[in-house]
Amino acid sequence: MNVHDLPTPALLVDVEAFEHNVTTMSAARPGAQLRPHVKAFKSTALANELRRAGHHAFCAATPREVVGMAAAGLGEDLLLANEVLDPGALRAMAECDGRVTVAVDSPETIAAAADNGIAEVLVDVDVGCFRCGCAPDDAGRLADLARDRGLEVRGVMGYEGHLMMEPGETRAERVAEAMSLLLDAHRQVGGDIVSGGGTGTCRENTWITELQAGSFTLMDTAYGSTDLPFRQALFLWLTVISVNQRGWAVADGGLKALAMDHGDPTMPDHTVLYCSDEHITFVPGPDGTLPAVGDRVRVLPAHVDPTVAKHERMHLVRGEDLLGTWPIDLRNW
C-alpha cells in the first residue's frame, strides 16, 4: 500500500529515522542503562521494538500506561515515574501481570502505595524542575517511612526536566549540579537505582544508573532544534483541501491533530500561518509554489508526546511505501 492511499489526517513514522534513533540511543545506553519512557509514544508495538533492541525495563507517566504495558507482555520491570493517590489505579497496577515500581515523594503517596498492594517504590527527588519530588534532604526520612510500611525501596529518581533545552555550553555543568542533589538523596536512601534524565540530557547525564527517555524514538522540532544526534521520525500527513489564489492553502489537520504547547508545527516546503481545530493554513516557502487541491503534505510536530496522544495509530513508512501500523493503545488515563 502506498502512503498516498491513506485517509488523512494520519501520523507517519519514518522507519529509517526511527531505526537510526533506536540504534544510536541503544549504542550509548545499552540494555538496562535505558528505561524507555512510554509516555512519549503510548504504543506497546513501538515499545516492543525497544524490547527487541535490548531494553527490558520501561517507565510510564500514567497507571493506564503501566497496566497496558503489562497486558502486552512488557511488564518485566515497569516504573510509574509519577505520583498516584487513586486507590483503584494503584490496585490495578499492583494486580497487573508485571513487576511494578511507583514513585513516591510524600507520606501520603507512600501510604497510598502501601495501602493498595504496591510492593516497590523509588523516592522521587526535586532536582530543580518545579514539579514533583521531595526535598533532597528529606529523601532518607521518606525511605525509612516506606520501609516501615513494608515497601521495598529500590532507590531514587529525579527528573531534570528544566534542563532538556539547556544550551549545549552550560548543559553538562547544570546537569551535574542537579544530579548532585539526586546523588545526595541516594546516599540517604540506598537501593540499586538512580533513575533520571531524558532525551535532552542523554549525553550529559552520566550520573544515573538508567536514563528515562522516550522522545528520541520519534523526535519533534523542539528537540530537533538542539544538537541531539536523533532524526525527525514523526510526521503528520495531510491532504490539501483548499487553495486560495490570494496566496494560501489549507490542509486537513490542526489543533486536534497536533500539540501546540511548543508553538506552531513546521512544514518542509511551506510556511505555517496558523492552525485551527481541523485545519492548517500555510503560504508558499522559498520556491513560491502553492500546492494543488488533493496534494499531500507533511507537517512536523513541535512536541511529540501530546501530538501522539491525539491519535489512534501511527503508520510506518519507508519512502512512499506503507509497511504497517502501530496502534497507539496507551492513550487516555
Residue whose grid cell is 498516584: 84
Instruction: State the distance between the two ends of the chain, measured CA to CA, in whole angstroms.
Output: 33
Instruction: Decide: helix, strand or coil at residue 270.
Output: strand
Closest distance of CB 88 from its own copies, Å: 6
Q: Strand, helix or coil at 199?
A: helix
- Closer to its own copies at the Cβ: 131 or 149? 131
Q: Is 244 in the site for its own copies (CB under 8 A)?
A: yes
* Among 28, 281, 325, 327, contact with its own copies (rule: CB under 8 A): 281
Q: How far, in Å, CA of 331 to CA of 333, rounded? A: 7
Query: How far apart are the C-alpha atoms of 79 and 289, rounded to whole Å?
Result: 49
Stretch 119-158 residues interacting with its own copies (CB under 8 A): 126, 130-133, 135
Question: φ and ψ at 129, to 5 degrees?
Answer: -90, -5
CB atoms within 10 A of CB 237: 22
Is residue 1 a contact residue for its own copies (CB under 8 A)? no
Which one of residues 28, 291, 309, 327 is an interface residue with its own copies (CB under 8 A)? Answer: 309
Which residue among 8, 26, 209, 325 contacts its own copies (CB under 8 A)?
8
Please compute Rg for the chain using Cα positions: 21
d(CA 174, CA 169): 10
Among 3, 9, 155, 200, binds its own copies (CB under 8 A): 9
The binder of its own copies chosen from 95, 97, 137, 261 (CB under 8 A): 261
Q: Which of residues 47-106 bind its own copies (CB under 8 A)?
A: 61-62, 82-86, 88-89, 105-106
Cell numbers linked to 57: 525495563
Tell whether residue 323 is a contact of its own copies (CB under 8 A): no
Q: Under the criterion CB under 8 A, does residue 276 sit at the interface with its own copies?
A: yes
Amino acid, res. 142: L
- For 146, counting Cβ atoms within 10 Å of its Cβ (0-12 exposed, 13-18 middle, 19+ buried), the class is buried
User: Which one among 278, 284, 290, 327 touches its own copies, defined by CB under 8 A?
Assistant: 278
Distance of alpha carbon 92 from alpha carbon 212, whole angstroms: 23
**Contact residue for its own copies among 115, 137, 269, 312 (CB under 8 A):** 312
# residues near its own copies by CB under 8 A: 59
Residues that bind its own copies (CB under 8 A): 7-9, 39, 61-62, 82-86, 88-89, 105-106, 108-109, 126, 130-133, 135, 161, 239, 241-246, 248, 250, 252, 255-257, 259-261, 273-279, 281, 293-294, 303, 305-306, 309-312, 332-333
